[in-house]
Amino acid sequence: MPEGRDPLVLDSMLGKLATYLRMCGYDAAYALDRGAEADDDLLALAETEGRRLLTRDRSLAGRREDAVLLTEREVPDQLRELSAAGFALELSDEPRYCGTCNAPVEPVDRTEPTPEYAPDPAETAVWRCRDCGQHFWKGSHWDDVAARLAAL
């Protein structure tokens, strides 16, 4: 866990934001991936896994001391809110958590076969999600997100 990056859980309205936070190296669980749509389930998940709750629901935020209430609707605005709240928002040096499912990713060996959508690992560093098998690399999407974060 990189310094200053607490494990998080995001409510059902914050799915897109979760993907960004994972690219920044956060262990960012998403309510709907975890079957925790109801407030009580979400609070229980935060409690049992020691995750900080990010929510757009004011009354829910009031039920947990370290919760972060987000008021904005759009992801860039939400990222600005988090930055103002002291969250580190730079891409991690290497992908750590799957943007799709939040499981840890692992490096793909240079000689391993990769799916058609992914580059050749002999030429480009590629990572694979341990759970869902999605492959990641630092391509144009990575650069786009880096630029967007730098512009906050």
Q: Which positions lie near Zn ion, rule CB under 5 A? A: 98, 100-101, 103, 129, 131-132, 134
Least distance to Zn ion from the beta carbon of 106, Å? 11
Least distance to Zn ion from the beta carbon of 147, Å? 24
With a CB cutoff of 8 Å and minimum separation 6, the contacts of 64 are 43, 46, 53
> What is the rounded distance in angstroms from the CA atom of residue 97 to the CA atom of residue 149?
18
Nearer Cβ to Zn ion (89/129): 129
Least distance to Zn ion from the beta carbon of 3, Å? 24
Nearer Cβ to Zn ion (12/100): 100
CA dihedral of residues 104, 101, 113, 107 (deg, nearest 10): -20
> What is the rounded distance in angstroms from the CA atom of residue 57 to the CA atom of residue 117?
38
Per-residue tokens: 98: 């799957």
Nearer Cβ to Zn ion (58/130): 130
Nearer Cβ to Zn ion (9/70): 9
Least distance to Zn ion from the beta carbon of 96, Å? 12
